[in-house]
Amino acid sequence: TAMTSQVKPGDRLPQVTLFDGAPNKPVRIDELCAGKSVVIVGVPGAFTPTCHSSHLPGFVADFDKLKAKGVNLVICVAVNDPFVMAAWAGALGSGDKVLMLADSRAEFAKALGMDIDLTAVLGSVRCRRFSMHVVDNVVKSVNAEEDSSKVDASSSCRLLTKI
Amino acid sequence: MMHRLGFCAGQLGSLRLRLAGQLLPARAMSLKVGDKLPAMELVEGPEMKKVNLQELFAGQRSILFGVPGAFTPTCSRVHLPSYVRDYDKLKAKGISQVFCLAVNDPFVMQAWSDANGAEGKVRMLSDTQAIFVEAAGLSLDLSHLLGGLRAKRFVMVIEDGVVKQLDVEPDPTKATCTLADEVLQSL
């Protein structure tokens, strides 16, 4: 179980550094999201079956619908290194639609109370599957999957109904 | 860009490994030429197939090379491609199987294999919890760059489960002595 209680509407985004494509390209998530309407999607692992074939493609496909609702930026976060995240972005063709950021040391997942121990299968603590809508760094809605191997509450179409 | 890395032996000194239900001190063994491979289980492929190292390398003349990370620059641009490219030459010199090992999960390893056309040539082994590299003295603390313990860059020639050759790259960001053409010259 997570050490921090799970993030909820009304909370501010934590001041955590993520990585954009390489270990020497840090990004502070709160600075990136300041003044914007942002969707953040958390996933257990780049290239893992559900993340790759169901969860992320939904957000890539629904990008225009999200923009129509005022969303400026869609970010996907996973506890993977920045090179793996960049390669996954390439494989998904997410291009300029979804920004893939590496939570290499699970700091963001832990700060959100979204960490889950998947050491047995994936080798480390990972991020639970969730989607979140944040406006100017204040969380508006959080949709966490109870079962991270499924995509239901955290899907893009579910999130669209909440924005 | 990966920076020059120093090896911090002391940091791992107090780590205790749980191996097949038994506690072992972290310095349990450092694999060297003449040693048999340990009877450890690693994982091959997204179906999460468990493979026993002793069984995998029994009765064969094999290459096992290790990389710090799937999709990292040197591993991807130079190291893995050298083994894919020289696979037939290696087979001509009596190598019957080539394996690449990394501390990456099997889904990432499969995707990396696909991206490099390694199918049918280089098989991917996931040392997902770093148990092999730790026990073999081949682990590298890359927490600050990649988020955790990784494999050093190394290559082994293994005959019937026994290590006959072992080369470790002194600078893990480079691939020199661990490239396929270097190994070919020594076969």
Are B104 and A45 a contacting pair at CB < 8 A? no
C-alpha dihedral, A105 to A110 to A114 to A119, nearest 10° = 50
Chain B residues touching A22 at Cβ < 8 A: 1
Are B104 and A123 a contacting pair at CB < 8 A? yes
Long-range CB pairs of B173-177, under 8 A, 24+ apart, other chains included: B173/B2, B173/B3, B173/B4, B173/B5, B173/B74, B174/B74, B175/B74, B175/B75, B175/B78, B175/B79, B175/B82
Establish if A6 belongs to a structural domain.
no
Å between A98 CA and nearest CA of chain B: 19
Q: How confident is the model at residue B12 (pLDDT cuts 50, 70, 90)?
A: very low
Average pLDDT over residues B35-49: 96
pLDDT at B129: 96
Q: What is the pLDDT of residues A106-123, one digit of tens each?
A: 999 999 999 999 999 999
Annotated catalytic residues of A are: 51
B98 contacts: CB under 8 Å, gap ≥ 6:
B62, B63, B65, B83, B87, B90, B121, B122, B123
CATH of the domain at A94: 3.40.30.10
Average pLDDT over residues B126-134: 97
Q: Which ipTM was obtained for this model?
A: 0.94
Structural domain that includes position A125: 11-161
Q: How many CB pairs under 8 A join A and B?
A: 75
Cite the DSSP H helix spans in B13-68.
Answer: 53-57
**Taking 70 as the threshold, does the pLDDT of residue B13 lie above it?**
no
Q: How many domains does chain A have?
A: 1
Write down the mean pLDDT value for chain B.
87
**Which range, B10-19, B20-29, B156-165, is most confident?**
B156-165
Rounded-to-integer distance, Cα A41 and Cα A133, Å? 9
Are A124 and B148 a contacting pair at CB < 8 A? yes
Q: Decide yes or no: CATH 3.40.30.10 for domain B35-186.
A: yes
The tens-digit pLDDT sequence of chain A (163 residues) is 566 899 999 999 999 999 999 999 999 999 999 999 999 999 999 999 888 888 899 999 999 999 999 999 999 999 999 999 999 999 999 988 999 999 999 999 999 999 999 999 999 999 999 999 999 999 999 999 999 888 899 999 999 999 9
